[in-house]
Structure 1
Amino acid sequence: MTLLERRDLLKLLAGAAAGVAFQEKAAYAMETRAVAKDPNETKSSKGPGMEAPRNVRKASKNRTPLAPNAFDMLPLGSVRPAGWLRRQLEIQATGLGGHLDETWDDVGSNSGWLGGTGESWERGPYFLDGLIPLAYLLDDDRLKAKAQRYIDWTLTHQLPNGMIGPASNDDWWPRMVMLKALIQYEEATGDPRVIPVLMRYFAHQLEALPGRPLRDWGKFRWQDNALAVIWLYNRNGDPKLIELARLLHKQGFDWQTDFADFKHTQRITPEMIKSKGDDGLGDFALSTHGVNNGQALKAAPVWSVVSGQETDRRGLEQMLSALDTYHGLPNGMFSCDEHFAGRDPSQGSELCTVVETMFSLEQSLAILGDASLGDRLEQIAFNALPGTFTDDMWAHQYNQEPNQVEVSLHQKPWTTDGPESNLYGLEPNFGCCAANFHQGWPKFAASLWMASQDGGLVAAAYSPCVVHTVLGDTPVEMVEETEYPFRGSIRITVNPETQIKFPLRLRIPTWAKEAKITVNGQSHQPPAQAGFAKIDRVWKAGDAVEVVFPMEPRVKRGGFRNSVSVERGPLVFSYPIGEDWVKLRTRGMTADWQVFPTSQWNYALAMNGTNAHGLVVEEHPVGGTPFALNGTPVKLQVTARKMSTWRAVDGVADPVPESPVTSDETEETITLVPYGAAKLRITAFPHLKS
């Protein structure tokens, strides 16, 4: 967030403290509430996996006149993490994600979203948006109780006109986040209060928007609001909701037109923003803002559900192509620290942008059925997401860099952010990421499986999990056992309550050449259609599907200044620089940290055609902290030479030397580890002239 944006927000929060209308505190005790019977609910089977939820809901399909999705998201709670993924969510729950309200006043008991006089804008909803899926996927009563306080206050303090949230501001934007939280809560619990509250709120919004249109953040994030409107329409069929969706699109920023003639091809500077006469909340600043673009990736797909137009369905492809071309980084993200920053891997990406990009890809994959979106989702989830946290998830960065050689108080290299931007801490640089990071892992886990339009199931992304859903009238359990992304083998056990015929689709990553599939030990090689292998058969309890994706290391060329990066499966690999952690300050239950290098890092890789020379794979057990440097499950050995002319200035690596390069230094074998394990790292390398 720019300095100008921060000033505006501070004014907003000051007004919130002075003008709050509701002073009632939400009750801490959980009430026992009746759960509405839903026609999609049924008793679940209980197979050999984890215990099934008490009520299992079918996926909801789009009603006419909405265009059908390729796949439909399963309701929250249908997919439960297992194995290493469950352990990762448990780390989040025992870390900052499960204790933030105990150590950070912005989401504490005085929050405006609990009826207090504290922060009353986006931070309470952000926190809840990740806390709810974390709580219900782990079935954690402690976390559920934390979330329930926010939920109960919001549902019981709706104004007579339908408005929700603190009365100290009427900004549409934070309510968009709260809508996402309420929807997840309703899917997980069936609480009968949610849908009537949403109906009244959307009726108010339809009436109020013509006179009080979307502005600044809400204008650029309208698609999140529209997604919630579509969710409710699919449940009550109110035609006024289609009218509201069209009005949101009309008032919102036109992302498709912006990317059809994409002009933001260079690093954005404060001077460029000022030259536009922009106060930080104008169209230029907000259209080049990283988080806005991460959220906007789903704008065209979401709108295509309403418009039914193929041109809208192709809008995401156009956006991703432009972002990759001008701002793409080797960890699957685009640079944005805080605004577009070019392709130099010493530039950063904001954590909010990482988790919002993941959510956009999850929703867009369901709408479009494009398997390549699953590839990108996994790359970000398994690299950029863990790469910006400490192993225990008690501290995070605001900005991460693929080539991150120091974490310290330097103004460089950020476009518009401040000197704390890559510290590990409670709320470095700005507190939005402290509130918002929580949605990353839980929503990824919830999106691993989806329902297809022909009555089947889709493995959209891969990680250990157990699925409970209903196909037709038959409860079905799917148990996915795997150490993916560290290994390439996946075993899926199908457990329908009774025999049932349905198609099972398995996403085949573009890098997985010669993937092998067996069903009950028999080879089954269905042709991949649009990136998915389809197995259509009668399934009975205990049927086993095994998938093996070859995990050959790959050298990816064509990076910034012709640099290269190394990948294996969905993992990106980095050279881990020696780390010296220095506490900057204590922050309640956590602390802010600087990290200084203790080893040299300026290596160029030896190349042999399209492969790294002498590359050897080492596999080790997957431990209790999957992305920790100590005990990392996989390492790569590669030949390299130091580049004495490649240095750092003010804690920032100089741009990667233009490849190919030469070096008279002694040839060495260096070890690369998964990107998320190395907190100081080199990910984009120059390569030696062969």
Structure 2
Amino acid sequence: MYQSFYYKQLTPPKLKPEGWMYRQLRTQADGLCGNLDKVWPDIKDSGWTGGEKEGWERVPYWLDGFIPMAWLLDDSELKACADKYINAILSRQQEDGWICPCDKEERPRYDIWAAFLICKVLVVYYQCTEDARIEQAVYKALKCISRHLEVHTLFDWGASRWFECLIPLGWLYDRHPESWMQELAVLLRVQGVDYEKLFENWPYRKPQEKGRWNYLTHVVNLSMCLRSDMLYNAFEGRKIGDFAEKALNMLLDYHGMPIGHFSGDECLAGKSPLNGTELCGIVEAMYSYEWLLCGTGRDIWADHLESLAFNALPATISSDMWTHQYDQMSNQIQCSILSPENTPFLTNNGESHIFGLEPNYGCCTANFGQGWPKLAMSAILVSKKGIAVGTVLPCSANLEIEGTRVYFRIVTNYPFEDGYRIIVQTAHPAEFEISLRIPGEAAEAYVDGEKVEGNRCTLRRRWEGKSEINVVFDFEAKLQPQYEDLYYVKRGPLVFSLPVKAQWRKKEYVRDGVERRYPYCDYELFPESAWNFAFADGKFMYNKKNPGIGAFDSQNPPVCLKTTLCPVEWPVENGVAAIRPSSLTPVGPEVEAELVPYGCTDLRMTVMPVAEPYRKEI
């Protein structure tokens, strides 16, 4: 399966995050993800380790990000914690291979989506550790799943996410292929949701009816399904088709947000700037794009990946990474608990956009940790001809190419600077290819001063000693149409928003036996600065606001766009901004304003109209 892929990721022991990427991972480890086993009952006392709490998706979700985070940071304490959980899970695997924490009589109604997920996690653990026990454990678990599906067909989440089982199955098949593995792949495919047929006859062009929940419009299922066709075709040895691109284009056409994702709170919600999208959907879409980049080699997936990683992911997690939202909104002027009858969300509750331990539902609490570590693993990729830059991130790697040790480093503050440097050093002379990424948003790009075209610049030469390559981009800030007569600003991979100063009101309490206590408490956010503006002349001046700060910090955004805005009459309705102002006529003089990266905001206005005097000029 994986041998046919265009690129291969490096495993964490070979890859070292640096610069702002390292600081993001360190902050995550020092925050909620790195401490869930100490503070959250569903991890601390999980059924996966013999406890009485949840024994389904939450521990696997958490380990899926926690494990690569621990090894990327090379943190012995975090590694020991991961070892403890994996040892406990392996020790409880049944003789027949069943690996999930439920009694035998409960198996028919146990949604085995969790079994797919834990097998995937075990593969991640093997990639970090090469633990000899893992292959046999995964073999037994998948063989058990195969027998189980002959009698108990997939349902609910397992049916919606059938293709996730192909990830550990493909890994196992590459190592030791057996005929039953191909049969299991077919069983999964025929018992699971046919997303290709769904998108051929796409009925969900409008927002989901309020209060109506549906597996087929669920934003996380749809984020995951983008990798389904690729995984199945790769396993079958067939050419990877264009399903993912067609499906994503359709989702963005009808439900797209400025951040490059589709809305879903929790089901598809249209293009209004008030309808949010779930954090799980963000990290799972990122994971789909990482697979698609490696499987197809197409740089459109790197563009989509960077759009979510540099905008949506940091915006929905507090800067210290101790709290997160369930839903993020493009226009988010207040994050207070809303009454059920007045929430703008179609299927989620009125606390979904507050920052906290587990607002609305705890899946995102467990799952958000995979975002940054897996992004880091998509930076330096190995091709059949050499090395490729996947996503532009500060990191380095030591690897071997045709028997020669090669040190490869990306030096950058991108996306807060317009380019990167490559340092490559070989122990002995070696000929191989270095493929350099050029973002699709770049108006122009230069490699060592020479203008290049397209999304890739490939250098094939005999590398000897130490070499440096300098890559520079040229980006333009532009107004982009979003929803009816509303616009947003994008420059390169970054969406820019008007930041709204926030007052954070702490809420410490206990509910259903789960304690919220600082720093893992809940917060409501209230505005302390004006937000009721429209764009004026549509001109933007790019400035490095805090040089040297290379992370998504709401208090110290690294860059900004200076522009002119006009105050307009814009009402508040039930704790959120109305979809649009009541008038486009300015109600005061123009103001000079600074827009900052969307990912550096807690409260913000992103989608705004153009004020009346300037509408003809835009």
Distance 1:549 1:686 in 2: 29
Aligned to 1:635: 560
Distance 1:390 1:293, change over 3 A: same
In the alignment, the residues of structure 2 paired with residue 127 and residue 425 of structure 1 have an alpha-carbon distance, to the nearest angstrom, of 17
Q: Which residue of 1 aligns with 2:513?
A: none
Residues 292-303 of structure 1 aligned to structure 2 (within 5 Å): 292-303=221-232
Q: Secondary structure at the match of 1:515?
A: strand
Task: Determine the structure 1 residue equivalent to 2:381.
Answer: 450
- For 2:145 and 2:432, how far apart are their aligned partners in 1? 41
| 1:595-617 deviations in Å (ceiling 9; x for gaps) | 0112221211123xxxx22x222
- Report if aligned partners of 2:405, 2:426 keep a CA contact under 8 Å in 1: yes
Give the match's secondary structure for 1:549: strand
The answer to whether the aligner puts 1:304 opposite 2:233 as a matched pair is yes
The alignment of Structure 1 onto Structure 2 pairs a total of residues equal to 598
SS in 2 for 1:397: coil
Q: Kindly provide the amino acid, as one letter, of the partner of residue 318 in structure 2.
A: T
Q: Aligned equivalents of 2:464 and 2:164: distance in 1?
A: 39
SS in 1 for 2:503: strand
**Whole-Å separation in 1 of the counterparts to 2:9 and 2:189:** 23
Alignment of 1:367-406 (within 5 A): 367-406=295-334
| Partner amino acid, structure 1, of 2:280 | C
Shift of 1:319: 0.8
In structure 2, give the amino acid aligned to 1:102: K
Seen in structure 2, the aligned counterparts of structure 1 residues 178 and 622 have a Cα distance that, compared at 3 Å, is farther
Residue by residue over 1:56-104, the C-alpha shift from the partner in whole angstroms, topping out at 9 and shown as x without a partner, is xxxxx735xxxx2222222333322100110111110111111111111
Distance change (3 Å), C-alpha of 1:653 and 1:309: farther
Q: 2:524 aligned with 1:594, yes or no?
A: yes
**2: distance between equivalents of 1:299 and 1:458?**
24
Distance apart, 1:242 and its partner CA: 2.2
Corresponding residue of 2:477 = 553
Structure 2 residue 544 is matched with structure 1 residue 544: no
SS at match of 1:559: strand
| In structure 2, distance between residues paired with 1:73 and 1:432 | 26
Structure 2 length-normalised TM: 0.93
Offset at residue 658 of structure 1 (A): 10
How far 1:441 sits from its partner (Å)?
A: 0.5
Identify the match of residue 126 of structure 1 among 61, 64, 84.
Answer: 61
Which of 431, 441, 444 is matched with 1:501 structurally? 431
Aligned to 1:209: 149
Whether 2:177 is the aligned partner of 1:237: answer yes
1:149 and 1:165 map into 2 onto residues whose CA distance is 17
Task: Quote the Cα distance in structure 1 between the aligned partners of 2:581 and 2:194.
Answer: 38
| One-letter amino acid matched to 1:444 | L
Of 411, 421, 446, the residue aligned with 1:481 is 411
Against the structure 1 CA distance between its residues 211 and 249, is the aligned structure 2 distance closer, same or farther, given a 3 Å change threshold?
A: same
- Give the alignment partner of residue 438 of structure 1, picking from 360, 365, 369: 369
Residues in 2 aligned to 1:578 and 1:74: alpha-carbon distance in whole angstroms: 40
Q: Equivalent residue of 2:13, what SS?
A: coil
Task: Please state how far the C-alpha of 1:527 moved relative to its aligned partner.
Answer: 5.0
CA 527–550 in structure 1, closer or farther in 2 if over 3 Å, else same: closer
More deviation, 620-629/190-199: 620-629
- Give the CA deviation at 1:622: 4.8
Alignment-derived partner of residue 671 in structure 1: 594
What's the RMSD between the two structures over aligned residues?
1.8
- CA displacement at 1:625 relative to structure 2: 7.2
The answer (yes or no) to whether the contact 1:555–1:567 under 8 Å persists in 2 is yes
Matched with 1:75 is 11
Q: Contact conserved, 1:260 with 1:318, CA < 8 A, in 2? A: no
Change (3 A) 1:269 1:122: same
User: Is 1:165 aligned to residue 93 of structure 2?
Assistant: no
SS of corresponding position for 1:506: strand
Q: Distance in 2 between matches of 1:420 and 1:427?
A: 10
* Preserved CA contact (<8 Å) 1:77 1:446: no
1:176 match:
116
The aligned counterpart of 2:494 is 571
- From 87, 94, 115, the counterpart of 1:152: 87
Alignment-mate amino acid for residue 643 of structure 1: V
Q: Structure 1 241/134 Cα, relative in aligned 2: closer, same or farther at 3 Å?
A: same
Q: Say whether the 8 Å CA contact 2:207–2:268 is kept in structure 1.
A: yes
**Secondary structure, in 3 states, of the residue corresponding to 1:77?**
helix
Q: Which runs of 5+ in 2 are unaligned?
A: 510-515
What residue number does 1:413 align with? 344
Q: Is the 8 A contact 1:515 1:548 kept in 2?
A: yes
Contact 2:445 2:453 in 1 (8 A): no
Percent identical across equivalent pairs? 37
Distance of 2:482 and 2:472 partners within structure 1: 29
Tell me, yes or no, if the aligned pair for 1:658 and 1:686 is still in contact at 8 Å: no
Q: CA separation in 1, counterparts of 2:183 and 2:65?
A: 29
Asked whether 1:425 is paired with 2:356, we answer yes
- Kept in 2, the 8 Å contact 1:483–1:622? The answer is no
Instruction: Give the match's secondary structure for 1:544.
Output: strand
Amino acid at match of 2:113: W
What is aligned with 1:332?
260
3-state SS of 1:150 partner: helix
Question: Deviation at 1:667?
Answer: 1.5
Task: Report 1:638-653 matches (<5 A).
Answer: 638-644=563-569, 646-653=570-577
Q: What is the rounded CA distance, in whole Å, between the counterparts of 1:183 and 1:77 in structure 2?
A: 15
Q: 2: distance between equivalents of 1:80 and 1:479?
A: 9
**Equivalent residues of 2:277, 2:329 under 8 A apart:** yes
For structure 1, list consecutive stretches of 5 or more residues without a partner in the other structure.
Answer: 1-60, 274-279
Q: Does 1:604 align with 2:534?
A: yes
